[in-house]
Amino acid sequence: MGRHLPGGHALDSARPEAFDALLLPGGVINPDTLRTDERAVSFAKAFFDAGKPVASICHGPWTLIEAGAARGRRLTSWTSLKTDLRNAGAEWVDEEVVVDQGLATSRKPDDIPAFNREVIRMFANAGKPSRQAAAE
């Protein structure tokens, strides 16, 4: 069904400033493991602090909660996270993909085509200087 792909960097050696965007995985086990790892939570938080784009699907928003990045955002997730996200100060909606304040979220595998379109759009310009910044 799935396949294992090696990561490019171990979390201990990865530095947020070396990356332009972050994709948080879905499923249950990966997000549950990430949200309990202080290094992973700090890594994710750094992207929000720097205003870099982040995408998350399914149970991935658990890490957003731990990073303090859900509050004040409109987002979606796997339905069972609705209460967790609302308790964390987010506005949870039942839509296939939501983009708010540099964060793209999606609910489930059926939503992957819409999620991918938004993630590609967001990430395509990540790390590139804006036209205004280039003109200054």
Which sequence positions are flagged as catalytic? Answer: 58
Assigned token pair, 113: 């085509």
In whole angstroms, give the CA distance from residue 71 to residue 93.
14
CA-to-CA dists, residue 47 to 7, 18, 29, 63, 87, angstroms: 19, 11, 22, 12, 22
